[in-house]
């Protein structure tokens, strides 16, 4: 019987949690692991001892993976630890397999002399050795002249008795939690593409994914009563933004569009129509002043619509994070849409962060629980 594992973090973004939900909807018999409060060391222990070798057909990682480990996240080395846990035919694409050369340091693994002579050739790949040391590591850097892979410290230096396999891709260990740097697709959109290829993204996925929904986004550089200055450098722009930076900084490129405050210390969840925008400085003049001029770090979204989608990413994010797999009833599509509409209106009416959080929690406890479980919600919103 196929064995699958879903790893998620219950304190992650709604998009990442929804990705885990989509995976579980596709494979309801999968084992689910919440790593929200698990430290780096504990995750390593979990991956190394709890998972059984040559067992899994698929592992879906819906939390962030990165070079350095942190509580509730997986480092690339911890991803590497999962390779031996996969069935022999499901480990990944083999780039090279041979025997290591002698090595005297614990941060280098020297491949065979015939390995690539091109610097950085194996960067970003994964290496597994078998023998006395038996390690699994992410390759941080590669020096072609000496065929040396730079990795995080191993317990002992790898010797010539070690054979190795370099995997260029982990085909069945899906790292869905990271936004795709090429397409800008976030976790839930990537999960949807994986499991339901060719089926139109439902509202829930599109809203939480932000994909093809947001024209431009980022952290404002200034805000006043009737203006907001967008990030014209692109330093904080979202990967899924539809407008390129060059397109955004053209005069009036976002005129007649809507900007809303995704988050701020005060003044969050307000929206205003943009009447004009300047070149380069990206100063947007608003059709009317803010009810409360936002303070603190202001994260904005610019969209070209003024319907349910304008607050959907904020609203659905909190909804999914608060209630995933913990909803009691199964209701009709009309009641689902009604709850969502009420929720969007509620979010729109709260302008201070503290009040919004308190009121949202109360609303979820008393209203959203009528929506139904995840499988029903997906069906009701036209996913399947």
Model pLDDT, residue 207: 72
Percent of the chain with pLDDT over 70: 78
Buried-state track 58-94, b at ≥16 Cβ within 10 A, e below 16: bbbbbbbbeeebeebbbbbbbbbbbbbbbeeebbbee
Which pLDDT score is estimated for 306? Answer: 76
Which three-class secondary structure state does DSSP give residue 40? Answer: helix
Task: Count Cα atoms within 13 angstroms, Cβ side, for 156.
Answer: 9
Under a CB-based contact definition with an 8 Å cutoff, are residues 377 and 319 in contact? Answer: no
Q: What is the pLDDT of residues 280-329, one digit of tens each?
A: 889 999 999 998 899 999 999 998 887 666 766 666 665 665 554 444 44
Q: Across residues 190-215, what is the average pLDDT?
A: 80
Whether pLDDT at 330 is above 50: no
Exposed, middle or buried: residue 144 (CB in 10 Å: 0-12, 13-18, 19+)?
middle
pLDDT at position 318, please?
58
Nearest to 288 by CA among 320, 254, 259, 316: 259
User: What is the per-residue pLDDT for 373?
Assistant: 38
Backbone angles phi, psi at 209, to 5 degrees: -75, -30
- What pLDDT does 363 receive? 43
Of residues 65 and 198, more confidently modeled: 65
Q: Which residues pair with 149 in a beta bridge?
A: 109, 142
Cβ contacts of residue 27 below 8 Å, gap of 6+? 4, 6, 58
User: For the whole model, what pTM was predicted?
Assistant: 0.75
Average pLDDT over the chain reads: 81
Q: Decide: 230 and 278 in contact? Cβ < 8 Å.
A: no
Quote the pLDDT of residue 336.
Answer: 44
CA dist., res. 229 & res. 279, Å (int) = 11
Q: Is the pLDDT of residue 27 over 80?
A: yes
Task: Check residue 122 and give its pLDDT.
Answer: 98
Q: Is the pLDDT of residue 78 over 60?
A: yes
| 210-248 pLDDT, tens digit each | 666 789 999 999 999 999 999 999 898 877 788 888 999
């Amino acid at each position: 019987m196929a064995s699958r594992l879903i790893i998620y973090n219950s304190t992650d973004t709604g998009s990442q949690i929804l990705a885990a939900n989509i995976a579980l909807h596709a494979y309801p018999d999968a084992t689910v692991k919440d790593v929200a409060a698990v430290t780096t060391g504990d995750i390593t222990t979990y991956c190394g001892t709890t998972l059984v070798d040559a067992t899994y057909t698929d592992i879906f990682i819906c939390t962030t993976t990165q070079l350095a480990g942190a509580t509730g996240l997986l480092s690339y080395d911890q991803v590497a630890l999962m390779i031996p846990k996969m069935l022999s035919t499901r480990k990944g694409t083999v780039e090279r397999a041979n025997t290591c050369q002698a090595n005297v340091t614990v941060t280098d693994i020297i491949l065979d002399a015939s390995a690539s002579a091109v610097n950085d050739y194996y960067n970003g790949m994964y290496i597994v050795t078998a023998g006395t040391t038996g390690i699994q590591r992410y390759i941080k850097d590669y020096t072609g002249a000496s065929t040396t892979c730079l990795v995080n410290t191993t317990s002992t230096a790898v010797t010539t008795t070690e054979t190795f396999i370099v995997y260029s891709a982990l085909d069945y260990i899906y790292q869905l939690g990271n936004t795709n740097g090429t397409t800008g697709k976030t976790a839930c959109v990537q999960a949807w593409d994986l499991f339901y290829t060719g089926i139109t993204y439902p509202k829930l996925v599109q809203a939480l994914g932000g994909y093809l929904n947001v024209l431009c986004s980022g952290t404002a550089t200034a805000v006043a009563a009737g203006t907001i200055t967008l990030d014209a450098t692109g330093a904080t722009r979202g990967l899924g933004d539809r407008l390129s930076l060059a397109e955004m900084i053209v005069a009036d490129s976002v005129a007649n569009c809507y900007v809303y405050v995704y988050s701020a210390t005060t003044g969050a969840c307000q929206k205003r129509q943009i009447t004009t925008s300047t070149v380069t400085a990206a100063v947007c003049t608003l059709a009317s002043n803010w009810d409360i001029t936002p303070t603190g770090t202001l994260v904005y979204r610019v969209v070209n619509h003024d319907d349910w989608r304008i607050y959907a990413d904020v609203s659905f994010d909190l909804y999914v994070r608060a209630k995933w797999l913990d909803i009691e009833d199964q209701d009709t599509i009309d009641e689902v849409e009604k709850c969502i509409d009420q929720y969007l209106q509620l979010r729109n009416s709260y302008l201070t962060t503290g009040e919004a959080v308190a009121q949202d929690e109360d609303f979820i406890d008393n209203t959203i629980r009528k929506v139904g479980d995840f499988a029903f919600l997906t069906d009701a919103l036209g996913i399947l």
